[in-house]
Amino acid sequence: MRNQLRSPEEMNSLAEWVLACVVLHNMLAKIGDKWDEMFRDDHPPQENQLLDVQIESTNNNIRDKIMHLNNS
């Protein structure tokens, strides 16, 4: 992989791609088989907002860690 990272822009692109994969993995691991239950019409939208806040928090924490490694 090091041979494919020829510039800082490519490193940033890779970091964003890895971050997206990590967030998606964590989101799917957390909700498991509850996907259908979470997004049925009988659930008020407020219940899903908590998940959005948790995902955003996780996203920010992971991004900070990756950027710290990238800047080291």
**Mind listing the pLDDT tens digit for each residue in 6-58?**
888 888 888 899 999 999 888 888 877 666 666 666 655 555 565 666 677 77
Q: How many domains does the chain have?
A: 1
User: Does some domain include residue 3?
Assistant: no
Distances (CA, A) of 30 to 2, 6, 17, 22, 63: 32, 35, 20, 12, 19
Within a domain: 20: yes
Residues spanned by the domain of 58: 11-71
Q: Are 63 and 4 in contact (CB under 8 A)?
A: no
Assess contact for 67 and 57: CB atoms under 8 A: no
- Report yes or no on 41 lying in a domain: yes
For residue 51, being part of any structural domain is answered with yes
Domain membership of residue 26 (yes or no) is yes
Residue 62: the pLDDT is 77
pTM of the model: 0.43
19 in any annotated domain: yes
30: in domain: yes
Residue 1 lies in a domain: no
